Amino acid sequence: MKDKRILVKGVEAIAFGALEGGCNCYFGYPITPQNEIPELMSVELPKRGGVFLQAESETSAINMVLGASAVGARVMTSSSSPGISLMSEGFSYLIALELPCVIVNVMRGGPGLGGIEASQGDYFQAVKAPGHGDGKFLVFAPYSCDEAYELTAKAFELADKYRNPVMILSDAILGQMKEPLTLKPLKIKRIKKDDWILNGAKDRPARVIKSLFLDSAELAERNRKLKKKYQMMEKEIRYEKIFEGNEDIIVVSFGSMARLCKEAVLNLREKGYPVGFFRPITLYPFPRFTLFKLAEASQRKKRFMVFELNCGQMVEDVASSICGRGDTYSVFYPPSILPFPEDIEKEIKKCLKYSNSPKV
Amino acid sequence: MPEVFKLPKSLKKNIFHYCPGCHHSIVHRLLCEVIDELNLRDRAVGLASIGCACFLYFYIDVDIVEAPHGRSCSVATGMKRARPELVVFTYQGDGDFAAIGLGDSLHAASRGESITALMINNTVYGMTGGQLSPTTVLQQKTTTTPLGRDPKREGFPLKMAEVLSNFEGVAFCARTAVNTPKRVIETKKLLKKAFLAQLENRGFSYLEILSTCPVNWKMDALSATKHVDKLIEIFPLGVFKDTFGGNSEI
Amino acid sequence: MRFEIILSGFGGQGVLFAGNLLALAGMYRGYQVSFLPVYGPEMRGGTCHCTVVISDKDIASPLVKEPGYLIILNLPSFLKFIPRLKKGGVALVNEDLVKRDEIENYEELTHHKRVIYVPFSSLAEEAGAPLALNLCALGAFNGLLKLFSEDVFVRALKEMLGKSKAHLFEANFRAYLKGIEAINKV
């Protein structure tokens, strides 16, 4: 059978991805610009024998996710920036309790109520400190409908594999734009959970899932175990690069912003400018080593231009990844000021002018 | 010789860490007896909430998950919706259920979630050192109301059983105490009913149990137990809603 | 091959519907497409617009600074987007709501740009579907560019209307044909 191609919004692609990934429970609370996800799930999940429930708040929603996860469901929630802040206590517990789930954040402008325009202002919150304590989770940043579909489906497998939440970090441009999505069947593994879920202590000792460790040695051990898990997640690192080795400038960007940047970079490359492109797809773990290798690829010192729809966040990860092997520039656009590819080209050319290197 | 006394199967043989005169241990035991008698151990999942009873799993031998403070009813909702065959109960204090978790509790009740919620009401925050709780009675001194609860400043005690009795989603709702042998026996009956409501999928069931906190009340065990009678004047015992019909008087 | 189109008009003129339909028809024709609606605050400024890109290659940016084509349904949209139209670009403008003599610096605004006036509102009324001026505009657009066949368009329109609005197909399609007819006369 030919794969079905449909014209959908990014948020709908995420919802279809979740269904393909085996999601059977959804809990959430409405917030713009991601309402198409709960709306679609409220139709699709009951049809498939799944559970959809609109909670009374994001706080409740994430705790319903916690409960469903503890009893073995493939469960997700979705929200946008202010709602994600409300959920962050729950993220910390989910990580501590080692409960898998998928969380979608379709970012909007902040701080506070901010606005509903596209933003990438929650980068730090997602990759550095999703909740209190040392907890981390895998963060995927899709940049197209096809990628949103595939990554969301895969997120369910990886959540189960690591027994840890996985976040899909998107934004209002990808969320609200429509483009074709190929609804192809994916090979998403079902991971057995019978050895840890709570389903009644029948013919086995009772199980406890807890995060309180008053014994300090026990808590330290716990954190070491979690840290090891985060290191294991480095296997999941994904990125896209356009790079041959001689480029003077490497444009680094993620999510929707990376689409605008890619357009600019491709245009410039066509005209012979020495510009490369790097797009982290996993934001945590961050592709540090690959970036370091790029910086070291030739003798000439490179310039890393980091384009973001915020006041400059990922640039810090880029700078720390290249360990001084190149220069890092932050080109930032606060929420609601979207640059066009032409504007990005201009920025890159400006930066090229300062370096005295000739065109390739 | 007939056996007249034995430990419930679901009760672990750990020594209770609770303070002398605290009623948690009595309620734990009753809970285990009911789990045994209704034969629920192999499908029960309990929610340990934040408060003195967060160590529920030291004593009760069923599957248990720790819920964030106040969120037990939401966590229980997620569990029950995902696996309706489970018997899900929460074990919460008055701060957990009626202060920080009030929204979660009321909405779960209003949705008629088929779960059993137990609220142990001792009118103070026990674990954190005896601060004001939503159920602290007027004039009661706590570590954050050193002059006593003044309704002009801290408002009035929240009466959850009365509140919940008005909810259409609530199938069973009662308040009881365990400070006399008779009341212990009655509490067990009500506890059983609270679980039966879930087993019959009637809706949300709620049992509030007046309890002591001798240390934070600054009383000895005996006076604290007697003091519960004073609380009963403010928080009357009884069945406030019962969809089973019939006579459920205490 | 790459077409970049901005459609703009009052809220309620069906601009987002038309943009979505255009992208869908493009997809059915086998092209890569993107449809970027503007939502929220900008809607309150009197105009509502969306950007459609149709290409035979992958589309990186769904955002377009200087489109090659404009479909303009009202005056505020004209004033807002004509300056952004690429040199040599084409604007299809609703003659009923955009009067040349009401625009002060008309010559300057439209320098090196091709502006085609079609009375979309009255044509839609003639077609018996006054609300379908958006379809009329799409007819003119496709009549001009011949991006997709009638079959492809009909399939996309039926998909967009769905079951609940299937009864509106005839009227909408009539308006579409009126648009083609009108552009052929220009």
What is the per-residue pLDDT across B25-70, written as a single tens digit (0 to 9) for each? Answer: 999 999 999 999 999 999 999 999 998 989 999 999 999 999 999 9
Gyration radius (Cα) of chain C, Å? 15
Across the interface, do A266 and C36 touch by the CB < 8 Å criterion?
no
Gap between the Cα atoms of C7 and C71, Å rounded: 5
Tokens of A336: 């609601």
Helices (H), C29-167: 75-81, 106-109, 120-126, 133-145, 150-161
Q: Is the Cβ–Cβ distance between A15 and A180 less than 8 Å? A: no
The C-alpha atoms of residue B6 and residue B16 are separated, in whole angstroms, by: 17
A7–C61: do the CB atoms touch at under 8 Å? no
ipTM for this prediction? 0.94
Q: Is A48 in the B-facing interface, judged by CB distances under 8 Å?
A: no
Asked if residue A354 has pLDDT above 80, the reply is no
Q: How far apart are CA C15 and CA C12, in angstroms?
A: 8
Cβ contacts of A263 on chain C, cutoff 8 Å: 60-61
As a whole number of angstroms, the distance between CA B48 and CA A334 comes to 43
Cβ(C17)–Cβ(C49) below 8 Å: no
Rounded average pLDDT over B142-152 = 97
Residues from chain A contacting residue C60 (CB–CB below 8 Å): 259-260, 262-263, 266, 341
Domains present along chain B, CATH in parentheses: 24-242 (3.40.50.970)
Cβ density class B204-219: b for 16+ within 10 Å, e for less: bbbbbbbbbbbbbbeb
Of B63, B68, B81, the CB nearest to A198: B63
User: Using an 8 Å Cβ cutoff, are A334 and A282 in contact?
Assistant: no
Confidence of residue A116 (pLDDT cuts 50, 70, 90): confident
Would an 8 Å CB–CB cutoff place B76 in contact with chain A?
yes
B250: closest CA among B208, B204, B211? B208
Chain segment C104-120, per-residue pLDDT in tens? 999 999 999 999 999 99
What is the tens place of the pLDDT at every residue in A227-263?
A: 999 999 999 999 999 999 889 999 999 999 999 999 9
Residue A134 has pLDDT above 90, yes or no: yes
Residue B4 reports pLDDT greater than 90: no
Q: Does A87 touch chain B (CB under 8 A)?
A: no
Q: pLDDT confidence of A19, banded at 50, 70, 90?
A: very high
Higher per-residue confidence, B228 vs A359: B228
Interface of B with A in 98-117 (CB under 8 A): 103-104, 107
Q: Is B79 within 8 Å of A27 when comparing Cβ atoms? A: no
User: Before A142, cis peptide (omega within 30)?
Assistant: no
pLDDT at A299: 81
pLDDT (tens digit per residue) in A299-346:
888 999 999 999 999 999 999 999 999 999 999 999 877 899 999 999
A60 to chain B: closest CA residue: B74
Determine, for residues A200 and B67 on separate chains, whether the beta-carbon distance falls below 8 Å.
Answer: no
- The residues that bridge with A208 in the sheet, in sequence order, are B64
Asked if the peptide bond before residue B236 counts as cis, ω within 30 degrees of 0, the response is no
Give the closest-approach CA distance of B75 to chain A in angstroms: 4
- Would the CB atoms of A51 and B82 count as touching at under 8 Å? yes
Domains recognised in chain A with CATH numbers: 4-235 (3.40.50.970), 238-354 (3.40.50.920)
Contact yes or no, C with A (3+ CB pairs under 8 Å) = yes
| Tens-place pLDDT, residues B222-248 | 999 999 999 999 999 999 999 987 544
- Give the pLDDT confidence score for residue A4 in this predicted structure: 86
Mean pLDDT of A39-59: 98
DSSP state of A251: E
B68 with A203: Cβ contact below 8 A: no
Look at residue A360 in the predicted model and tell me its pLDDT: 41
- Domain ranges, ordered by start, for chain C: 2-98+105-185
Instruction: Give the tens place of pLDDT for each residue, C56-85.
Output: 999 999 999 999 999 999 999 999 999 999
Q: Which of A70, A90, A200 sits opposite B68 (nearest CB)?
A: A90
> How far is CA B123 from each of CA B98, B152, B212, rounded to the nearest angstrom?
11, 18, 8
Contacts C33 to A, Cβ<8 Å:
7, 179-180
Half-sphere exposure of A326 (CA within 13 A, CB side): 30
User: Which bin fits B209, alpha (ψ -120 to 50), beta or left (φ > 0)?
Assistant: beta
Mean pLDDT of B190-210: 97
Please enumerate residues of A whose Cβ is less than 8 A from a Cβ of C: 5, 7, 32-33, 115-117, 173, 176-180, 259-260, 262-264, 266, 338, 340-343
| CB < 8 Å to A57, chain B | 103
Mean per-residue pLDDT, B175-200: 98
Q: What is the pLDDT of residue A171?
A: 94
Peptide bond preceding C119 in cis form (omega within 30 of 0): no
Chains touching B (3+ CB pairs < 8 Å): A
The CATH H-level superfamily of C2-98+105-185 is Pyruvate-ferredoxin oxidoreductase, PFOR, domain III (3.40.920.10)
Share of chain A above pLDDT 90, in %: 91
**Chain A partners within 8 Å of C62 (Cβ):** 173, 177, 179, 259
Mapped to the 3 state alphabet, what secondary structure does A174-199 carry? HHHCEEEEEECCCCCCCCCCCCCCCC
The verdict on a CB contact (< 8 Å) between A202 and B42 is yes
In total, the C-beta contacts within 8 angstroms joining chain A to chain B are 140
Q: Which of C95, C98, C183 is nearest to C139 (CA)?
A: C183
Question: Is residue A290 exposed (0-12), middle (13-18) or buried (19+ Cβ within 10 Å)?
Answer: middle
Please give chain C's pLDDT, 186 residues, in tens.
Answer: 999 999 999 888 999 999 999 999 999 999 999 999 986 555 555 679 999 999 999 999 999 999 999 999 999 999 999 999 999 999 999 999 999 888 999 999 999 999 999 999 999 999 999 999 999 999 999 999 999 999 999 999 999 999 999 999 999 999 999 999 999 998
The residue in chain B having the minimum alpha-carbon distance to the alpha carbon of residue A209 is B65
Distances (CA, A) of A348 to A253, A262, A341, A343, B180: 13, 12, 11, 9, 80
Q: Which residues of C touch A346 (CB under 8 A)?
A: none
Query: Alpha carbon of C145 to those of C4, C7, C70, C149: distances in Å?
Result: 12, 15, 13, 11
pLDDT at A358: 45
Q: Is the pLDDT score of B76 beyond 60?
A: yes
Contact residues for A321 (Cβ-Cβ < 8 A; gap 6+): A286, A287, A288, A289, A291, A292, A295
Q: Which chain C residues are closer than 8 Å to A343 by Cβ?
A: 65
- A166/A188 Cα distance (integer angstroms): 15
When CB atoms are compared, the residue of A7, A116, A342 closest to C23 is A7
Q: What is the distance in angstroms between the Cα of B223 and the nearest Cα belonging to chain A?
A: 32
Query: Are A347 and A331 spatial neighbours (Cβ–Cβ below 8 Å)?
Result: yes
Among C32, C33, C63, select the one facing A260 at the smallest CB separation: C63
- Whether C45 and chain A come into contact, CB under 8 Å, resolves to no
Q: Which of B83, B113, B114, B167 to mutate to test the interface with A (most CBs of A within 10 A)?
A: B83
**A and B: touch, per 3+ CB pairs < 8 A?**
yes
User: Where do the H-state alpha helices sit in chain A?
Assistant: 10-20, 36-47, 58-70, 81-96, 123-127, 145-162, 172-176, 216-232, 255-270, 288-296, 314-322, 341-354
What is the mean pLDDT of the segment spanning A114-126? 93
Distance from the B62 Cα atom to the nearest Cα atom in chain A, whole angstroms: 5
pTM reported for the whole predicted model: 0.95
Cβ under 8 Å to A: C residues 53-112:
59-66
